[in-house]
Chains A and B, each alone.
Chain A
Amino acid sequence: GQQVMQIPQYQHVQEGEDFTTYCNSSTTLSNIQWYKQRPGGHPVFLIQLVKSGEVKKQKRLTFQFGEAKKNSSLHITATQTTDVGTYFCAGQVNKLSFGAGTTVTVRA
Chain B
Amino acid sequence: SAVISQKPSRDICQRGTSLTIQCQVDSQVTMMFWYRQQPGQSLTLIATANQGSEATYESGFVIDKFPISRPNLTFSTLTVSNMSPEDSSIYLCSVGPFQLAGGSYEQYFGPGTRLTVT
Contact = CB atoms under 8 A, between A and B. Distances in A.
B43 interface: yes
A43 B45 contact: no
Interface in B78-111: 92, 103-111
Interface residues of B, number: 19
A95 B42 CA distance: 15
Interface residues of A, number: 21
Q: Is the interface of A mostly helix, strand, loop or mixed?
A: strand
B109 A101 contact: no
Contact of A43 (B43, B44, B103): B43
A33 B107 contact: yes
A45 B106 contact: yes
A43 B109 CA distance: 6
A100 interface: yes
Interface of B: 41-45, 48, 58-59, 92, 103-112
5 contacts: A31-B104, A43-B43, A48-B104, A90-B43, A98-B43
